[in-house]
A = this chain, B = another copy of it.
């Protein structure tokens, strides 16, 4: 018995992950994917490094080509096709096809919404002027690169001091563009605590980035050609021939909302742990969905490539009749600015306090390898634990190469409910090129107990 067509809206990590998983589980079922953009299955996280010039061609970010999906996996992948409406009762979607003004209806047995997220663009004069960009699609990365090549901007402003802001600041500095970074928050990286963010700010300042905190983007000025020439905050004007907006992501949930599907945290599509939406036979996965914070059970909106990849796998299994549950996330993230690595997981001290969790914290400076080993660099680790139980709640790491990925041991420890004491006694690896005898995360844990 055929199970009927799975229609997928959106051809990135979650959508194509689900398509591939389902194809491995069921070699026969019809799978149709509509993607409104020009590219499928690319690593958007790599775009800053394309712009920096570390990666020659944006196309290198494409994980799998449309031909492989179509021919090897027999997935009906349609680029440039926008799904404009869902008729949930009729179990069909309305599709706009290139060169076909009227479009068509496509029936489904199961529908997976994997429409991703879009950068927030403030509703402000000039926010769509030439020279103003946000990092979204593969195409947007190519556009920024082309703009830099053509206009050779000497100065840029990056609005927003989150991950994308940091990565874009690195990219632009790498292209010899003077960078000013503004953020309305009083610090960089608001998912980190103040003292950890301060280390990052000091390092970035040392590398020539001008930082302005507590200053919101208020206006964008254009030159005679209509191209950006500067921005204004409530406190100052800053000249800039390029403006990058890194103001956060918003879920592409309009299509779902209009179909009567329930939304949740941050306006993202609400799903249960099987990735079912509120409407039968309609699933959602990836950056367009909300997720659950494992520490608190709160519904949160945290669009991340890793979650999208896991969602794709889970959706593929469940659409095939399985019952694989996606429990949630810890909000783990990692990035770097030049040589400085930054990673975090779980609750920061601020996040714990906002939730009225009584906690204790430790911040320790240590070395990435044995202090006497050549190239050993500074690493700072902050841990947050529940006050009475000692249960680990979060970790933050800032330091030289070799620092960031240490967060993964903390991630595993928090996932399994370990206390600071448990972390101290983990049989973590040690040799002089890799660590101190006590790994820095254990030194921080020792200080907690």
Task: Give the size range of A's interface with the partner.
Answer: 35 or more
Within 8 A of B (CB), among A158-205: 163
* Given A408-B406, A434-B405, A55-B428 contact (CB < 8 Å): no
Interface centre among A415, A422, A423 (most CB of B within 10 A): A415
Contacts of A437 in B (CB 8 A): 13, 43, 305-306, 309
How far, in Å, is A164 (CB) from chain B's closest CB?
11
Contacts of A310 in B (CB 8 A): 424-425
Chain copies in the assembled complex: 2
| Partner-contacting stretch, out of A80-88, A222-230, A332-340 | A332-340
Partner of A405, one of B13, B373, B417, B435: B435
Contacts of A404 in B (CB 8 A): 429, 434
How far, in Å, is A248 (CB) from chain B's closest CB?
17
Contacts of A334 in B (CB 8 A): 429-431, 434-435
**Interface residue? A413 (CB, 8 A):** yes
Interface centre among A49, A326, A406 (most CB of B within 10 A): A49
**Interface residue? A438 (CB, 8 A):** yes
Partner of A429, one of B407, B423, B431, B439: B407
**Interface residue? A353 (CB, 8 A):** no
**Interface residue? A412 (CB, 8 A):** yes
Within 8 A of B (CB), among A408-426: 408-409, 411-413, 415-418, 422-426
**Interface residue? A5 (CB, 8 A):** no
- Return the chain B residue nearest A437 by Cβ: B309
**Interface residue? A345 (CB, 8 A):** yes
Contacts of A405 in B (CB 8 A): 402, 405-406, 429, 434-435
Contacts of A343 in B (CB 8 A): 429
Q: 9 smallest A-B Cβ distances: which pairs?
A: A416-B416, A412-B412, A334-B429, A408-B409, A330-B427, A60-B372, A332-B427, A309-B437, A306-B430
Could you name 11 residue pairs across A and B whose Cβ atoms are closer than 8 Å?
A45-B431, A163-B431, A309-B438, A329-B427, A331-B427, A404-B434, A406-B408, A408-B428, A411-B428, A412-B416, A416-B418
Q: A54-B373, A405-B406 provided; 20 other pairs, C-beta below 8 A?
A: A43-B432, A43-B437, A45-B432, A304-B430, A306-B437, A309-B438, A329-B427, A331-B427, A333-B429, A334-B431, A334-B435, A336-B431, A345-B429, A405-B429, A406-B408, A411-B429, A415-B422, A415-B426, A416-B416, A416-B417
